[in-house]
Amino acid sequence: MRIIETKNLVKVYTGSTVEVRAVDSVDLVIEQGEFTAIVGPSGSGKTTLLNMVGGLDQPTSGEIIVDNVDITQLNQKQLVDFRLKNIGFVFQSYNLIPVLTAAENVSFIMELQGRVKSEIDTRTKEILSDVGLGDRLTSRPFQLSGGQQQRVAVARAMASRPKFIIADEPTANLDSKTTEKLLDMMLELNEKENITFLFSTHDQRVVNKARRVIVLEDGRIVSDERK
Amino acid sequence: MKLKLAWKNLWRNRRRTLITVASVFFALFFSIVMNGYMDGMWGQMIANTLKTQSGHIEIHGTDWWDDKTVDNFMTMDSLAIQELRSLSNVENVSPRIETFALASFGNVSKGVALVAVSPSQENAKSKLSSRVIEGKYLAESDNGVLIGAGLAKYLKVSVGDTLAFIGQGYQGSSAAGLFPVHGILQLAITEMDNSLVYATLPAIQTFIDMPDGYSGILITLKDDRSLDETMETINSTLHSKDYEVMNWHFTMKRLLQTAESDKAFSKFVLFILYVIVGFGILGTVIMLTNERKREFRMLVSLGMQRGRLVATLCLELLIMSLLSVVSGIAIALPLVFYFHSHPIQITGEMAEMFNDLGMEAVIPFSVEPKIFVTQVVIVIILTAIAAIYPIRKIKILKLTEQ
Ligand SMILES: Nc1ncnc2c1ncn2[C@@H]1O[C@H](COP(=O)(O)OP(=O)(O)O)[C@@H](O)[C@H]1O
Ligand SMILES: [Mg+2]
């Protein structure tokens, strides 16, 4: 099943002197359950592409179809709602609400979605123990290590079972051991709950874990391999 | 959840929140106490003046207010006066004559202000008899006079001497009479001490040749809140075009203006205070907004509508101002209520003057709900103005900036 399809996706930044084609004619199809890494050197357009697919940024031209809906046609409010219902996000940093506990951070999105309390509680406990933090429910972000914080962020993204999860360099601030652990955990969840992951990285160890690797160069897809 | 998040966010920077709350608390507390004092003082001053000096309502002849001559005096028979006394909200009805005359003793003369009253009623109103320092107070149908000590000194008269008065009588006649000095008064206000003469009504009515004649009738009420209704009742009781009925908002315009300009200064001080506090709130809100920009971006990215984010933030600011308001009122309320029931005693010259005017030398604080409500509204408005900044920032927040 097709989760995401982009058609001739273009993003042009027009500066005072030069024009940057940050994403250039990208046609991309992501299937349900895929675990895809977008790789490429810095400035190759990974963030721009993920932001557009995640509905955080508008393309200059082209279509992004999710679930038969071209999300480039949605207005600001509809986009917020679309993200809430369909997409999980893991950012590089500043991922958690500092005043809330790990469990509250995970529950937060489900509460915004208007789910019932009992369901939220059960799911929060389940997903946090899936990421190995079953005993840290009441810890606040500052009491957790960077790797643990990213695991809470992944748990939060997973909690409401979105159509797909977007993670822009989720391991950029982690050491290699923690990086491996986070990736293994993401893979496990991907297999267990069949949730689609689309993440960017320039870390070779992360690339090795991916099931599909898309290479970007100057905003264009130069290779796309499934393992 | 919104409330919980707002509450937790409020204490992210505990010290800053406490400083902000404390500054608003202080302004609110200070304003309530200051307003309670000023309103209380002027309220007391006006109430006292109404009770002892003038009245809530005055009745005059139609032209008297603009041209205070004897020819514009009114007449009213005792039956009609009795009828006014029987009205339900009426406490005191005091017919009087206020006019001018030339007083002479030996070869010294001086213009004096002549006030004719019912001695017993005037005493009930302003405790005039306590000001007698020599001689004795007037009896009801006395034809003697009481004069200010300053005047007595000027005219070189003492108790037992007889003064000659020349003045204007009714309808162009001239009035002349001899009045023995029965007592000398010590009056605190120098102007009054130097020129005031008290006499009885029958004596002066004879002097000006106008039986049942008065310059006006002062009426004090039991309850000022039904001033308008009582005015109407009086108007319909009198049903005559010969009278003009005025209330104190009109007759004491000048005192009211003095009160307003005196209060204006303290209002200005409070205004400055609130401007400072307002900038304090704004500073806190600006810092708080800029600190959380990345977090706001994250929340909207995850799927929180900007409106909800704004609502959470406004809730946080509302809690902050309510904390100040509630604590401010909680401390100020008992204090002003205490000074309401245990008024501050005035001392010194001011106290003397109050006593001379027949007033109690105390300042009870005002506990009008209006004072509290106004301060609360001001704080809420200041907070609302400060909230414009984050509302605007959240509205234009870009999600893709790093
Ligand atoms: N807001 C922006 N304005 C102008 N140019 C931008 C902006 N964002 C990104 N770019 C440019 O677009 C290109 C792709 O950037 P980005 O998507 O961040 O690459 P990556 O994430 O792969 O490092 C870069 O050349 C970058 O300089
Ligand atoms: Mg990037």
- Domain assignment present for residue B401? The answer is no
Regarding whether B274 and B241 lie in a shared domain, the answer is no
CB A135, CB A107: distance < 8 Å: no
What is the architecture of the domain spanning A2-226?
3-Layer(aba) Sandwich (3.40)
B234 and B324 in one domain? Answer: no
Same domain, B182 and B268: no
Q: Which residues 102-161 of A have a C-beta within 8 angstroms of B? A: 108-109, 111-113
- Would residue B101 count as lying in a domain? yes
How many domains, chain B? 2
Decide if B75 contacts B210 (C-beta within 8 A): yes
Q: ipTM of the predicted structure?
A: 0.94
CB-based contact B298 A98, cutoff 8 Å:
no
Which parts of chain A register pLDDT below 70? none
> Which of chain B's residues have a Cβ under 8 Å away from the Cβ of A49?
none
pTM score, two decimals? 0.81
C-beta of A39 in contact with ligand 1 (< 6 A): no
User: For A202, how many CA atoms within 13 A lie in the half-sphere containing its CB?
Assistant: 13
Residues 6+ positions from B141 with CB-CB distance below 8 Å: B200, B202
Is residue B197 located within the same domain as residue B317?
A: no
User: What six digits make up the tokens of B385?
Assistant: 């103005």
pLDDT, one tens digit for every residue, chain B (402 residues): 788 899 999 999 999 999 999 999 999 999 999 999 999 988 888 888 887 778 899 999 988 888 888 889 998 988 889 999 999 899 889 999 999 999 999 899 999 999 999 999 888 888 889 889 999 999 988 889 999 999 999 999 999 999 999 998 888 788 889 999 999 998 878 888 999 999 999 999 999 999 899 999 999 998 888 889 999 999 888 877 889 999 898 888 888 898 889 889 989 999 999 999 999 999 999 999 999 999 999 999 999 999 999 999 999 999 999 999 999 999 999 999 999 999 988 888 777 777 766 677 788 999 989 999 999 999 999 999 999 999 999 999 999 875
Closest CB to B1 among A54, A94, A111:
A111
Q: Do B92 and B118 lie in a common domain?
A: yes
Q: What are phi and psi of B211, to 5 degrees?
A: -65, 145
- φ and ψ of A170, to 5 deg: -65, -20
- Distance to chain B for A227, nearest Cα, Å: 31
pLDDT value, residue B354: 73
**HEC sequence for chain A:** CEEEEEEEEEEEEECCCCEEEEEEEEEEEEECCCEEEEECCCCCCHHHHHHHHCCCCCCCEEEEEECCEEHHHCCHHHHHHHHHHHEEEECCCCCCCCCCCHHHHHHHHHHHCCCCHHHHHHHHHHHHHHCCCCCCCCCCHHHCCHHHHHHHHHHHHHHCCCCEEEEECCCCCCCHHHHHHHHHHHHHHHHHHCCEEEEEECCHHHHHHCCEEEEEECCEEEEEEEC
B237 and B292 co-located in one domain: no
Q: Which of B301, B303, B399 sits opposite A112 (nearest CB)?
A: B303
Protein residue closest via CA to atom 5 of ligand 1: A13
Looking at the structure, tell me whether residues B135 and B198 fall in a common domain: yes
- Does the C-beta of A46 come closer than 6 Å to ligand 1? yes
What is the C-alpha separation between A177 and B384, in angstroms, rounded? Answer: 49
**B277 and B389 together in one domain:** yes
Residues B233 and B286 in one domain: no
Q: Is the same domain home to B19 and B81?
A: no
Q: What is the pLDDT of residues B261-303, one digit of tens each?
A: 988 998 999 999 999 999 999 999 999 999 999 999 999 999 9
Cross-strand pairs, A12:
A21
Task: Supply the range of the domain harboring residue B195.
Answer: 56-248
The answer to whether residues B193 and B151 touch, using CB atoms and an 8 Å cutoff, is yes
Q: Is residue B173 domain-shared with residue B158, that is, in the same domain?
A: yes
Q: What phi and psi, each to the nearest 5 degrees, are found at residue A71?
A: -70, -15
DSSP H or E segment with residue B188? none
Q: Are residues B296 and B164 in the same domain?
A: no
**B217, B248, B279 - which closes a domain:** B248
- Which residue reads 């675990």 in tokens? A35
